[in-house]
């Protein structure tokens, strides 16, 4: 039944999806109710020979009900959304891995800080469109843009955030399933927008280590030394 969103592989995705479906079901129910009643009334109260038109000023009780009930539903949805937003976006938890993602017409620059976990040092590594992260770890993404407004979209992780030139925006996620997922740009950013696509590789712990080893042989030695101890 819930097959038409991309598979969720994010720790917080379930909470966002639940809200989405709750709102979807409420609006669908209201839509159907309004349409059925409207069509029924069109038929029941159509013009008929000998039936005079009726002047009605309305019905105060009914109007109060259909104003107050939706207002209460909206307030409840606002509170529920606010709680989820605060938990996911209000605070950045302690993260295990950090990476810079810079939008640029028309690709994603992915900058890894390297073994020292600091940006702007010699062991930084820049890749185009390929983001490798380990599974079951919290990933901090420092998001920026070199030119225009882009939007960093990880549909399977339920992450979408505008990337603005001149600003660094911190977001995070944690992936729960290994695999290759899409990175898309969700902001019309120019002629090549449709082609602004990358890959998110969620690696098992071993695969991630292998990937690190390939890119930073020195780091692998450090990791090996730690393991040997
Ligand atoms: Cu873009």
Rounded to 10 degrees, the C-alpha dihedral 42/43/46/51 comes to -130
Ligand 1 centroid vs 174 CA: distance in angstroms? Answer: 23
The span from the CA of 44 to the CA of 92, in Å, is: 57
Supply φ then ψ for residue 100, to 5 degrees.
Answer: -100, 135
| Residue 129 shares a structural domain with residue 209 | yes
98-127: b or e for each residue (b if 16 or more CB lie within 10 Å)?
Answer: bbbbbbbbbbbbbbbbbbeeeeeeeeeeee
Distances (CA, A) of 42 to 10, 63, 201: 47, 20, 56
| 190 close to 146: Cβ distance less than 8 angstroms | no
Distance from the CA of 102 to the center of ligand 1, in angstroms?
10
Task: Tell me what the mean pLDDT of segment 147-157 comes to.
Answer: 97
Query: Does 148 map to a domain?
Result: yes
Q: How many angstroms is it from 129 CA to the middle of ligand 1? A: 12
- Co-location of 82 and 165 in the same domain: no
Cα-to-centroid distance, 25 and ligand 1 (Å): 32
Distance 99 CA to ligand 1 centre (A): 18
Expressed in angstroms and rounded, the spacing between residue 110 Cα and the centre of ligand 1 is 14
Instruction: Confirm whether 190 is domain-assigned.
Output: yes
Specify if 4 maps to a domain: no
> Do 81 and 104 reside in the same domain of the chain?
no
Band (217; pLDDT cuts 50, 70, 90)? confident
Q: Which of 127-131, 177-181, 212-216 has the lowest mean pLDDT?
A: 212-216
Task: Give the residue from 65, 90, 115 where a domain finishes.
Answer: 90
Cα 191 to ligand 1 centroid, rounded to whole Å: 10
Q: Is residue 111 part of a domain?
A: yes
Inform me whether the pLDDT recorded for 206 exceeds 90: yes
Are 117 and 178 within one domain? yes
Q: Is residue 36 pLDDT above 90, yes or no? A: yes
What is the rounded CA–CA span in Å between residue 142 and residue 153? 14
Distance 103 CA to ligand 1 centre (A): 6
pLDDT over 80 at 181, yes or no:
yes
Question: For residue 83, what is the enclosing H or E element?
Answer: helix 60-85
- Range in 4-8, 68-72, 142-146 the model is least confident about: 4-8
Residues 105 and 154 in one domain: yes
- Domain with 145, as residue range(s), is 97-228
Residues 114 and 145 in one domain: yes
| Cα 56 from Cα 45, distance rounded (Å) | 13
Q: Residue 99: what are its φ and ψ, rounded to 5°?
A: -150, 150
Total tally of structural domains belonging to the chain = 2
Please tell me the distance between residue 187's alpha carbon and the centre of ligand 1 in angstroms.
Answer: 6
Distance in angstroms (rounded) separating the CA atoms of residues 223 and 206: 12
User: Residue 1: what pLDDT?
Assistant: 45
Asked if residue 40 is part of any domain, the answer here is yes
pLDDT-above-70 percentage for the chain: 93
Same structural domain, 37 and 125:
no
Give 228's pLDDT tier (boundaries 50, 70, 90).
low
Q: What is the pTM of this model?
A: 0.84
209 C-alpha to center of ligand 1: Å? Answer: 30
pLDDT in tens, 54-105: 888 889 999 999 999 999 999 999 999 999 999 999 999 998 899 999 999 9
CA 105 to ligand 1 centroid distance, Å: 6
pLDDT at 30 > cutoff 60: yes
- For residue 182, the CA-to-ligand 1 centroid distance in Å is 14
Q: How confident is the model at residue 9 (pLDDT cuts 50, 70, 90)?
A: very high
Say how many Å lie between the CA of residue 189 and the centre of ligand 1: 5
Note whether 109 and 222 are same-domain residues. Answer: yes
* Same domain? 217 vs 121: yes
Q: Is residue 162 one of the residues assigned to a domain?
A: yes
Quote the percentage of the chain above a pLDDT of 90: 81
């Amino acid at each position: 039944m819930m097959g038409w969103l991309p598979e969720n592989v994010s720790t917080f995705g379930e909470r966002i999806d639940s809200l989405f479906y709750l709102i979807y079901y409420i609006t669908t129910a209201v839509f159907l109710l309004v349409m059925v009643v409207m069509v029924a009334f069109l038929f029941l109260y159509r013009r008929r020979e000998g039936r005079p038109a009726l002047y009605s000023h309305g019905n105060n009780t009914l109007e109060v009900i259909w104003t107050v009930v939706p207002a209460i539903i909206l307030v409840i949805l606002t509170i529920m959304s606010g709680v989820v937003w605060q938990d996911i976006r209000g605070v950045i938890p302690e993260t295990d891995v950090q990476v810079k993602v810079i939008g640029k017409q028309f690709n994603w620059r992915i900058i890894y800080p390297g073994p020292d976990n600091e940006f702007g040092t010699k062991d930084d590594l820049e890749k185009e469109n390929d983001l490798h992260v380990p599974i079951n770890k919290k990933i901090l993404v420092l998001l920026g843009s070199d030119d225009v407004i882009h939007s960093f979209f990880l549909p399977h992780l339920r992450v979408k955030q505008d990337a603005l030139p001149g600003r660094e925006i911190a977001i995070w996620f944690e992936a729960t399933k290994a695999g290759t997922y899409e990175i898309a740009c969700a902001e019309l950013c120019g002629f090549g927008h449709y082609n602004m696509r990358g890959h998110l590789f969620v690696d098992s712990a071993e695969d991630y280590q292998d990937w690190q080893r390939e890119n930073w042989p020195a780091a692998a030695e450090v990791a090996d030394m730690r393991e040997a101890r």
